[in-house]
Amino acid sequence: MLRDPDDGAMRARVAANAAQLGLRLLDATSNDYLGLAQRSVSRETLGKAGAAASRLIHGTTDEHLRLETALAAWVGAETALLFSSTYSANLGLIAALGIQGSLVISDAFNHASLIDGARLAKAEVAVVPHLDLEAIRLLLRNRQSPCWVVTESYFSMDGDGPDLGALRSLCDSYGACLIVDEAHALGVFGPAGAGRCAQVGVRPDVLVGALGKAVGTHGGFVAGPKLLRDYLWNRARSFVFSTAPSPAHAALTEHQLRLAQQADALRAKLDSNAAHLRARLTQAGLKLIQGSFGPIISVVVGENARAIAVADRLHRVGILAQAIRPPTVPEGTARLRLTVKATFADDEIDRLADAVEDACRAS
């Protein structure tokens, strides 16, 4: 996916176009689903600026430990371990768990961080077709060695997700461990925004969460049993050899986490906005991803040049949208990826729907 090397300049151009039309800039690209990233914070929210060392050396602070306790409680896990990013969390997790003789079974549409973690692991790696439970069952059927089944709960390009209950049952039947990346689901789905696993009553063996999306800061975490935390503390290289996240950032994230947990009204509005936009685009006859749900709505246009043209037409009317092209998505499925926000008013959803339909018709 090629992008404007100066994203700030592009945003400024789109904002200027919106202003000329007397409209508000609509950001349909970011993952700030609840709008919490745009909120101002007080000095009292913050702590010490830097940790100055890795967690293993002398970098752990009370702010880190409080945040990890809050994160574990949020997702119903015994413990959690904070990483500087969700990418480093997935990378360190999969590489550390994928010991020689084990098998990592990975969904074909898993995020690059999970893929790269599997590449670094010493385990055998099997990539299965997207959401294909039978393919996973066939791999597990005669397997005696440890197996890790790895999936996202809500896929960031297609806006779909697995049957988590069926996946949990399948893993239990064959003694496999289930790893679920809830990056795009936390804050959006489930009670108090605890994710899709919590929504359907499934407890994965390992849960990965993101803090740079609905929570509105940055960073990632791995949640699970204390034994897992102790193991990653010593074996996840992306954790071991990284300076600890800023204590100020950890304190801010704990504050943002409380806001996300209490944001039921925002989640209801987000759900309503997503359903409204999806219905409008479907009525217009545009091609959406079959089985998609939630705030990620991808309009498949096929050719790269057409996707770029559609995005450019939206930019001209003050809507920030991104053309997603191979290799981020499969060849022939270039698309306009839209992310709905809880902060969009009803008339802005209609404005977005009208603009996307017009841009697709004209391109």
Residue 281 has a pLDDT of 98
Q: Report residue 122: phi and psi, to 5°.
A: -90, 0
181 is a catalytic site residue: yes
Residue 1 has a pLDDT of 43
Q: Which one of 181, 182, 254, 348 is the catalytic residue?
A: 181
How far apart are the C-alpha atoms of 41 and 43, rounded to whole Å? Answer: 7
Residue 6 has a pLDDT of 60
249 is a catalytic site residue: no
How far apart are the C-alpha atoms of 228 and 232, rounded to whole Å? Answer: 6
CA nearest 282: which of 176, 357, 361, 170?
357
Over residues 215-225, mean pLDDT: 97
348 is a catalytic site residue: no
Pairing type for strands 103-107 and 124-128 reads: parallel
How far apart are the C-alpha atoms of 225 and 177, rounded to whole Å? Answer: 13
Q: How confident is the model at residue 48 (pLDDT cuts 50, 70, 90)?
A: confident
Which has more confidence, 280 or 55?
280
Q: Which one of 17, 27, 88, 213 is the catalytic residue?
A: 213
Q: List beta partners, residue 300.
A: 335
State whether the Cα torsion 278-283-284-286 is positive or negative. Answer: positive
Over residues 11-28, mean pLDDT: 93
pLDDT, tens digit (0-9, with 9 covering 90-100), for 294-329: 999 999 999 999 999 999 999 999 999 999 999 888
Q: How confident is the model at residue 45 (pLDDT cuts 50, 70, 90)?
A: low
pTM attached to this predicted model = 0.94
**Class for the domain spanning 7-34+264-362:** alpha beta
Domain spans, the chain = 7-34+264-362, 43-261
Lowest-confidence region among 16-25, 123-132, 173-182? 16-25
111 is a catalytic site residue: yes
Q: Which one of 107, 152, 158, 348 is the catalytic residue?
A: 152
Q: Which one of 17, 31, 153, 298 is the catalytic residue?
A: 31
How far apart are the C-alpha atoms of 95 and 173, rounded to whole Å? Answer: 25
Q: Which one of 27, 64, 110, 111 is the catalytic residue?
A: 111
Over residues 105-119, mean pLDDT: 97
Q: Which one of 110, 156, 242, 292 is the catalytic residue?
A: 156
Question: Given 1.10.3720.10, 1.20.810.10, 3.40.630.30, 3.40.640.10, which CATH number is that of 43-261?
Answer: 3.40.640.10
Q: Would the pLDDT of 5 be above 70? A: no
Tokens of 118: 């599997």
Mean pLDDT, the chain, whole residue set: 94
pLDDT, tens digit (0-9, with 9 covering 90-100), for 129-147: 999 999 999 999 988 889 9
Residue 156 has a pLDDT of 94
90 is a catalytic site residue: no
